[in-house]
Amino acid sequence: MRAIAKGLGVAHTTLSRWLDGSLVPSEDQTSAFADALGLTDRAREDLLQVTRWVSAHGGAVGLFGVSDQVTEVLEVESEATVVAEWSPLRVPDLLQTARYARRTEPRNPAQDVALKLGRQSLIFQNRAKQYNVFLGMSALESRVGGDNVMAEQIERLLSAVDQENVELRVVPDRLDWHDGQHGAFVLYDREGGHSVVYLKHLDTATYLAYPEVVARYRTLLAELGSLALTAEQTHDHLEKALRTLMCAES
C-alpha cells in the first residue's frame, strides 16, 4: 500500500481515506490508481464508474465498500513473500476471472471485481511472490455462472499453473476426515517471519497471528499436500474438466 501511494504521489493515509470513503479521489487519480493495480478493460471501467457514482452521491462510500478489510488485505498481500491458500468450495479470489467474480459478489460487483483483479496484479506481476493453492475438486464441479463462465474460469486456472511462481493442486473429494474440512484459509508468510492466517467470513474477516496457531495451519497445508493430486495430475484433471464443459456447450 505504501509503495502504491508513493507511486501515485500521495500519502499512505490519503490512499487509505480513498478506500474508506472519507476522501473521494478525482477521476484522474482513480485512473492512475487503476494503472498502479494493473487494471484493464472492464475492471478499469468498473472502478471508474464507482468513483463517478461516489462523487455524484456525495462521497458516501469508499471505492471498495468494506474499507478496513480491503486495506488490511492489500497491506498483507503487498508484504507477503509466500501466499498459501486452501479453498475447498470456490475458486480463490486471486485466480477468479471477472465474470466468475461478478457471480460470487452480487451485492457490489463493480467494486469487488475491481478489487480482486487489482489484488491479482499485485501477485502475478511480482514474480518474487510465490502463490501456492490447494483447490477442492468441488470448486471445479460447481457451475458458477453456467458452463461458459466455468469453462473460461478453468482456462484461467490452466494459464495460471504455467506461471513459475504459481503452484495449483487439486484435492479430491470423498476422502476420510481431514482438518481442511473445517474450511478455507490463507497463510501469508512475510519477511522477518511475521506470518499471519486469514479467515474470510460472510461480511468480515479474521486474522490469526499467534505463532502456535499459524504453525497449526502450516501443518494442515502439509497434510493437504499429502492428499492432493500432483501438479501433473492436476493439469490433466483441469483439461478433462474443460473438455467436459466445452462438450456441454456444443
Chain segment 222-232, per-residue pLDDT in tens:
999 999 999 99
- For the whole prediction, is pTM greater than 0.85? no
- pLDDT confidence tier of residue 153, bands split at 50, 70 and 90: very high
d(Cα 184, Cα 88) in Å, to the nearest integer? 6
> How far lies 245's CA from each of 146, 148, 193, 248, in Å?
10, 8, 43, 5
Asked if the model's pLDDT at residue 63 lies above 60, the reply is no
**For the chain, what is the mean pLDDT?**
85
Read off the pLDDT band of 250 (50, 70, 90): low
Residue 68 has pLDDT above 60, yes or no: no
The residue among 22 and 85 whose pLDDT is bigger is 85
What mean pLDDT comes out for the span 61-67?
46
Contact between 5 and 71 under an 8 Å Cβ cutoff? The reply is no
Which pLDDT score is estimated for 192?
80
Domains and CATH numbers, the chain: 1-63 (no CATH), 68-249 (3.30.870)
The answer, yes or no, to whether residue 39 has pLDDT greater than 80, is no
- Would you state the pLDDT for residue 67? 44
Report pLDDT for 97: 92
pLDDT at 48: 77
User: Maximum distance among all alpha carbons in the chain?
Assistant: 54
Q: Residue 188 pLDDT more than 90?
A: yes
With pLDDT > 90 as the criterion, what percentage of the chain qualifies? 49
The grid coordinates listed for 77 are: 498481500
Share of the chain above pLDDT 70, in %: 87
